[in-house]
């Protein structure tokens, strides 16, 4: 496989770690990265170490906003075509904020458009933007479609309902020559693919249970966007109310749970992604987990359990388990890059449209 050039949209926790992990993968050259303030593009390859140092502390820093194109309050937002805007995390200290603190970068009033304008030299784009609005990722995809991009797009989104929005764009992706890999992180992503493999032992699936544990080794300060998105899965919140929470309110929620938050019956895209791959019905999938925002160690072992009936009438459960030593960054960003590489292979062979992680195997 030839070398793959890729861009990262968003340089918060996921974006920064993707750049870091890419240095340990063969055949990958990061050539572009952006946030709402600026963009860095170098087709000889970005200096990742310098960029990571410059963007340290590139965190989500407060309630997000959604405005319309007619609204004048567009300050510090990344606009998606069709009217929605969202605010990715940006470094809040220093004369320059975020990517523009890097000597490789420059300020930009529309950094996504800058990436699109250089799309001919970018094989794949990883969307590492906070998905605070259900239609945010699809609207970003619309911008790439309208800009004439042809290549691979990969996201690590979590929400089930977003998959349908992407599926609605399948024909447009096919016409444009875009291979879109959705839900390609840990869960959904790595664990969705593991469930699909574990299900092969059975002729009928009874249930798929995904239970994850995350200890934030880098702390809440570097993962505010992730924590905010997870809080939206608590029964008393949703994606809209979680978006409006202040940092103080989020910290109060964390304190109320003594730093350890348990989630059950999450609206995670594993369900619809397994259904669209023909593994089981979405209603047979449950996702839950425990988030510890104060300790490095995982509060529980991450497992996927697939229960079903074999061809000879036996009922059994296959279980896939992640070692507790593997971090969230390793289990999210490693598979995301693996799915990105697989997406590029599919794209180069002329396969376009929308693909879920259960339909692909990530490349090492």
Q: Which domain holds residue 336?
A: 4-187+329-359
Q: Which of 89, 84, 74 is nearest to 35 (CA)?
A: 89
- Within 10 Å of residue 218's Cβ, how many Cβ atoms? 14
Q: How high is the pLDDT of residue 299?
A: 94
- By the 8 A CB rule, do 37 and 108 touch? yes
Q: How many angstroms from the chain centroid is the CA of residue 167?
A: 17
Q: How high is the pLDDT of residue 59?
A: 53
Q: And the tokens for 237?
A: 């919140």
Same structural domain, 308 and 205: yes
- By the 8 A CB rule, do 130 and 58 touch? no
Same structural domain, 183 and 212: no
pTM over 0.75: yes
Give every residue of the chain whose pLDDT is below 50, as ranges.
Answer: 60-95
Calpha distance 113→111 (Å, rounded): 5
Q: And the tokens for 7?
A: 């861009």
Longest dimension (CA), the chain: 68
Same structural domain, 156 and 172: yes
Domain count along the chain: 2
Same structural domain, 261 and 352: no
Q: How high is the pLDDT of residue 217?
A: 62
Q: How high is the pLDDT of residue 294?
A: 84
Calpha distance 345→359 (Å, rounded): 14
Which amino acids are annotated catalytic?
Answer: 158, 229, 233
Residue 268 forms part of a structural domain:
yes
What's 296's DSSP letter? Answer: S
Same structural domain, 182 and 288: no
Q: How high is the pLDDT of residue 238?
A: 83
Residue 364 forms part of a structural domain:
no
Same structural domain, 233 and 183: no
The dihedrals phi and psi of 207, each to the nearest 5 degrees, come to -160, 155
Calpha distance 89→64 (Å, rounded): 9
Residue 182 forms part of a structural domain:
yes
Q: State the first-to-last Cα distance of the chain, in angstroms, to the nearest integer.
A: 12
- By the 8 A CB rule, do 34 and 26 touch? no
Residue 79 forms part of a structural domain:
yes
In tens, the pLDDT along 274-315 reads 999 999 999 999 999 999 988 888 999 999 999 999 999 999
**Residue 140's CATH number:** 3.40.50.720
């Amino acid at each position: 496989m030839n070398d793959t050039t890729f861009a990262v949209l968003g340089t918060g926790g996921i974006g920064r770690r993707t750049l870091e992990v890419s240095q340990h993968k063969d055949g990958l050259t990061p050539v572009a990265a952006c946030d709402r303030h600026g963009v860095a593009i170098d087709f000889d390859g970005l200096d990742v170490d310098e960029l990571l140092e410059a963007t340290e502390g590139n965190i989500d820093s407060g309630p997000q906003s959604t405005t319309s194109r007619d609204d004048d309050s567009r300050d510090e937002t990344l606009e998606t075509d069709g009217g929605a805007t969202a605010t990715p995390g940006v470094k809040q200290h220093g004369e320059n904020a975020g990517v523009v603190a890097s000597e490789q970068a420059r300020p930009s009033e529309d950094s996504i458009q800058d990436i699109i304008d250089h799309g001919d030299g970018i094989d794949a784009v990883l969307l590492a933007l906070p998905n605070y609005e259900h239609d945010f990722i699809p609207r970003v995809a619309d911008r790439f479609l309208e800009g004439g991009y042809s290549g691979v797009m990969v996201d690590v989104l979590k929400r089930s309902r977003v998959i349908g929005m992407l599926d609605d764009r399948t024909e447009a992706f096919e016409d444009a020559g875009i291979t879109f890999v959705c839900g390609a992180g840990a869960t959904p992503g790595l664990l969705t693919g593991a469930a699909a493999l574990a299900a092969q032992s059975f002729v009928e699936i009874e249930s798929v249970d995904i239970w994850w544990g995350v200890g934030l080794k880098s702390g809440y300060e570097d993962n505010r966007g992730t924590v905010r998105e997870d809080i939206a899965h608590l029964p008393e919140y949703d994606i809209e109310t979680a978006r409006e929470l202040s940092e103080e309110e989020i910290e109060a929620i964390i304190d109320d749970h003594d730093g350890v938050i348990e989630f059950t019956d999450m609206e995670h895209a594993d369900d619809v992604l397994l259904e669209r791959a023909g593994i089981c019905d979405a209603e047979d999938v449950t996702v839950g987990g425990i988030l510890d925002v104060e300790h490095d160690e995982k509060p529980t072992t991450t497992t996927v359990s697939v229960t079903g009936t074999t061809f000879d009438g036996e009922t059994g459960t296959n279980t896939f388990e992640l070692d507790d030593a593997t971090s969230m960054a390793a289990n999210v960003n490693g598979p995301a890059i693996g799915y990105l590489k697989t997406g590029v292979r599919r794209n180069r062979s002329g396969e376009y449209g929308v693909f879920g992680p259960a339909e692909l195997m990530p490349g090492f």
